[in-house]
Structure 1
Amino acid sequence: MTGHSVKNFLDESKFNRFHFGILLWSLLIISFEGYDLVVYGSVVPFLTEEWALSPIQAGVIGSYGLFGMMFGSILLSLLSDRFGRKSIIIVSVIFFSVFTTISGFATEPQLFSWCRFLAGVGFGGTLPTIISLLTEYIPKSSKNRAITIALCGNQVGGILAPLLGVLVFEALGWRPILWFAALPLLLVPILIKALPESPEYLISKGKLDTLDRTLRKIDTNYKNQLIVKNESVEEASSERMPLLSLFKSKLGLSTLLFCIVYFMGLLMIYGLNTWLPKLMHSAGYPIISSLGFAIFLNGGALLGTILIGVIADRKGSKNVVIALYVLGAVCLALLGFKSNIFFLYLLIAIAGVCTMGNQSLLNAFVSQYYPTNVRSTGIGLANGVGRLGGMLGPTLGGVLLSLNVSIELCFLAFALPGVLAALCLFFVKKNTDVKKEVEIVNARLKVN
């Protein structure tokens, strides 16, 4: 039993109850993470009033969580490639649940900011590790669809946060929607039993009995299907410095371009999630209606993400992602101009698909781009650097509002990064070409 033969079996297997179980748990985890992540955008109007925060101060507080995500994405992804996916997922869930709950008891901005930072560490570790686990276990024919469906959890959480706010703000205030974040802690014992461990990790640690029990859940006769192809070029899983490997074997340029794409994409996403209700409120809409725009933003992304995942499985991911970034930029630019309410909601829903939904598809594309031994590290680095853009988004919105910049220019500022992201992704080499070059280098290393 080798990593390459197991990978071949998992790629060619048929989607069944085992895969559905992983997908369901992944969707649930990402939903809780998405809720905790965007809930700040729902409470920020109340925090600015209660703590007398300026727009810039509110934007900086929003960036604390994203700063923590940068650390979590890079650090926990490295640990995931070294120590396995399952334990890092559990640690991440505990982190973001505990500290988001504590933030609901904060009475001043400093404690709230530190809670957002520490919760952000958990946010950062969750996404790349979940994506890596799904990439390893889901059949090749369903990978894009499964990953994008799991990442719809971001939109589920993004809808739930403002929706819950609409229901409880007037009666109970803003704190209860932060206390709701404690719910995932009750599921941790179940997650420990339900989630499988990375097959590559189990092989490297000699835990073949555990892997055998897991693979039998997919097919009791799996051993008869462990056909080894190109065994001589099997990926080297013993790489001690996976971060450096991202810049070797012709991966360097693509890695740099992915970092820029993530930077631009997350700038749009977190800028909008933080400031869309406030921008619409500044444009003359009541606060409850402004929260409705946030629901449409995430709702559009939720429905559209499933569709674009199906299209990507059939047509390929790269061109779909590029086209969606361009379309999203156009929609965001148009949001700055007055129009009838139906067209406005339509633009917001499409913008949700082209930003948050497209980010899910981008994650699926990148997860399949890198070799197994550096997959989580590659996704984690791109997400980590991207968090710098995510931090800039809320701060940028705060600066623009404090300078009384027109709504048209505010939305244009969030649209331009989409064009830059599409341009960078255009120059990324085809992953099939890169993987062939990586396999050749690995083969030479094994010979030497």
Structure 2
Amino acid sequence: MRTIDVSALIDGAHFNAFHARVLFWCALIIIFDGYDLVIYGVVLPSLMAEWGLNSLQAGALGSSCALVGMMLGALFFGSLSDRIGRRKTIMMCVTLFSGVTAINGLAQSPEAFALCRFVAGLGIGGVMPNVVALMNEYAPKKSRSTLVALMFSGYSLGGVLSAGLGMVLIPQWGWQAVFYVALIPLLALPFLIRQLPESLDFLLRTGQTVKAQILLTQAVPSYVPSATDQLNHIVAKGTNASIAQLFQEGRKLSTFMLWLAFFCCLLMVYALSSWLPKLMSAAGYGLNSSLAFLVALNLGAIIGAVAGGWLGDRIGIAKVLFVFFSCGALALSLLALKAPLPVLYLLIAVAGACTIGTQILANACTVQYYPPQIRATGLGWAMGVGRTGAIIGPLLGGALHASSLPLQASFLIFAIPGLVGAIAILVFLIQNARNRSGSLRHSYHTT
């Protein structure tokens, strides 16, 4: 009988066609997840004009429907997947957000629009922690942060797609047209069902050893399975995930700091994504120019996420997070200064890299911090608690727009959460260093 260390095998694997397949499908899901999410900022000027919404009403509509749904979806589906499996949960979430977002295009009133956004938000919030956890589980250790960041940069690609299609479709066919594009993931669902693997951790916890061996041979082609193999994993068979585990084994302060960082980051992300086109439009830029700023924001996020993931694999993802939070606060502060248009685009791209890009890296940091059996639960709760920041963001943007403050003042206010987030990650780094030092001392004394 051989004892196989599954985690060590996957950690030492080389990137192959199996990893590419997981990356492709997870990234595709995130692309349309991001598309569905950014779509509100794209259609906001049209909705305000058609339904006669004022700034505060528009901010409430953006925060009280999709984002509340996302908060609840992240909390519920993140924990659920640790019990029923990532694959089933992801399929449920894709069906929910894709189908209902398409139906959203038929809304005839703010109330119907809000209901559709809430239900779609459940799926959007639920799918994120699960695809991140799945990609992290199968990615080789030496490229883990890069692959997770590359996959999650699909969120920003979806934002670019949403803004780009908005520039083309809205003038021709109205705001409804951009919602119908969201049907594509639903049409791809049969292929997704065949191609997306289940979590190895879940299979081993539930005693599905043969299925786990088949997937392991795909992830690590050098592994030759045997009927007598004992697959050894960090998590023992039958172990159940529990929210209380997020605060055990010295994780309490670190968990709270991650939650605070998520809150700050998501506040900045959703304030900018929801209100950047409208704020720039109010500053005198046309609709297409205002949407072009949204494109710059998301393009910057893609570059920032991939570069940050690459750097995180070399110096540590939490250290990169601290730098990104600090740079995000600085970039948003500099936007308060009057600058030429090319400099403005550059600063907005940097802001995208250090807000949306920071959120992508925070996801990667969180799934790497928690052990496998509570990985989706940990990320789900961090995203769920952080969604309160996402809810406040559009409301804050609406209040700033309604107050008729100068554009520069709005960017200065948006920069404050970046500074708080940097402090939270600094505390997280210090606490983890202390925990590691304590573990080493304990190991020394027991030996």
- Do the aligned residues in 2 keep the contact of 1:3 with 1:199 (CA within 8 Å)? no
**Matched residue type, 2:133:** S
| Equivalent residue letter for 2:307 | L
Matches within 5 A, 1:286-365: 286-365=286-365
Instruction: Give matches, 1:251-290, under 5 Å.
Output: 251-290=251-290
Could you tell me which amino acid in structure 1 is paired with residue 372 of structure 2?
T
Shift of 1:168: 1.4
Q: Distance in 2 between matches of 1:294 and 1:235?
A: 43
Task: In structure 2, list runs of 5 or more residues that go unmatched.
Answer: 443-447
SS at match of 1:67: helix
- The 8 Å contact of residues 145 and 364 in structure 2, kept in 1 or not, is answered as yes
User: Which one-letter code corresponds to 1:175 in the other structure?
Assistant: Q
Partners of 2:288 and 2:373 lie apart in 1 by: 47
Residue by residue over 1:226-281, the C-alpha shift from the partner in whole angstroms, topping out at 9 and shown as x without a partner, is 9999x7x9445644451111111111111111111000000000100000001111
Matched residue, 2:111: 110
Q: Secondary structure at the match of 1:105?
A: coil
Contact 1:249-1:438 at 8 Å conserved across structures: no
What pairs with 1:47-62 in structure 2 (closer than 5 Å)? 47-62=47-62
The 3 A distance-change label for structure 1 pair 407 and 361 is: same
C-alpha deviation, 1:176, in angstroms: 0.6
Q: Distance in 2 between matches of 1:176 and 1:3?
A: 55
Note closer, same or farther for the CA distance 1:341–1:11 as it changes in structure 2 (3 Å cut): same
Trace 1:123-272 onto structure 2 (pairs within 5 A). 123-223=124-224, 234-236=234-236, 238-240=238-240, 242-272=242-272
Mapped partners of 2:30, 2:185: distance in 1: 11
SS at match of 1:197: coil
Q: How far 1:404 moved relative to its partner?
A: 1.4
SS in 2 for 1:56: helix
Letter in 1 for 2:114: S
| Secondary structure of residue in 2 paired with 1:65 | helix
Identify if the C-alpha distance between structure 1 residues 295 and 259 changes in structure 2 by more than 3 Å, giving closer, same or farther.
same
Partners of 2:234 and 2:212 lie apart in 1 by 19
* TM-score when normalising by structure 2: 0.93
* Cα deviations by residue, 1:157-203 (Å, 9 ceiling, x for unpaired): 10011100111111111101011111111111111110110111111
Aligned residue identity for 1:76: F
Alpha-carbon distance in 2 for matches of 1:92, 1:437: 41
Q: Where does 1:373-384 land on structure 2 (aligned, <5 Å)?
A: 373-384=373-384
Q: Which amino acid aligns with 1:216?
A: T
Q: In structure 2, what is the Cα distance between the partners aligned to 1:237 and 1:247?
A: 22
- Once residues 117 and 303 of structure 1 are traced to their aligned partners in structure 2, the CA distance between those partners, rounded to angstroms, is 30
Aligned to 2:94: 93
The answer on whether the counterparts of 1:249 and 1:437 sit within 8 Å (CA) in structure 2 is no
Are the structure 2 counterparts of residues 40 and 439 from structure 1 closer, same or farther at C-alpha, using a change threshold of 3 Å?
farther
3-state SS in 2 of match to 1:337: coil
The answer to whether the 8 A contact 2:86-2:199 is kept is yes
> What does residue 38 of structure 1 align with?
38
Structure 1 vs Structure 2: percent identity of aligned residues? 40
Distance (whole Å) between structure 2 residues aligned to residue 440 and residue 121 of structure 1: 45
Count of aligned pairs between the two proteins: 439
Structure 1: where are the runs of 5+ without partners? 442-448
Change (3 A) 1:206 1:240: closer
Structure 2 CA distance for partners of 1:405 and 1:92, relative to 1, 3 Å: same
Describe the shift of the 1:399–1:152 C-alpha distance in structure 2 as closer, same or farther (beyond 3 A): same
Task: Give yes or no for contact 2:301–2:356 (8 Å, CA) kept in 1.
Answer: yes
Deviation at 1:336, TM superposition (A): 2.5
Cα pair 1:65 1:119 within 8 Å, conserved: yes
> 1:438 Cα shift?
9.4
Structure 1 residues 354 and 228, CA, compared in 2 at 3 Å: closer, same or farther? Answer: farther
What is the identity, as a one-letter code, of the residue corresponding to 2:403? Answer: L
1:402-438 superposed Cα distances (whole Å, 9 cap, x missing partner): 1212212211111100000000111115658758989
Instruction: Using the TM superposition, give the Cα deviation of residue 313 of structure 1 relative to its aligned residue in structure 2, in angstroms.
Output: 0.8
CA distance in 2, matches of 1:434, 1:5: 25
Paired residue for 1:73?
Answer: 74
Distance in structure 2 (CA, Å) of the matches to 1:133 and 1:237: 19
Letter in 1 for 2:164: L
CA distance in 2, matches of 1:190, 1:133: 17
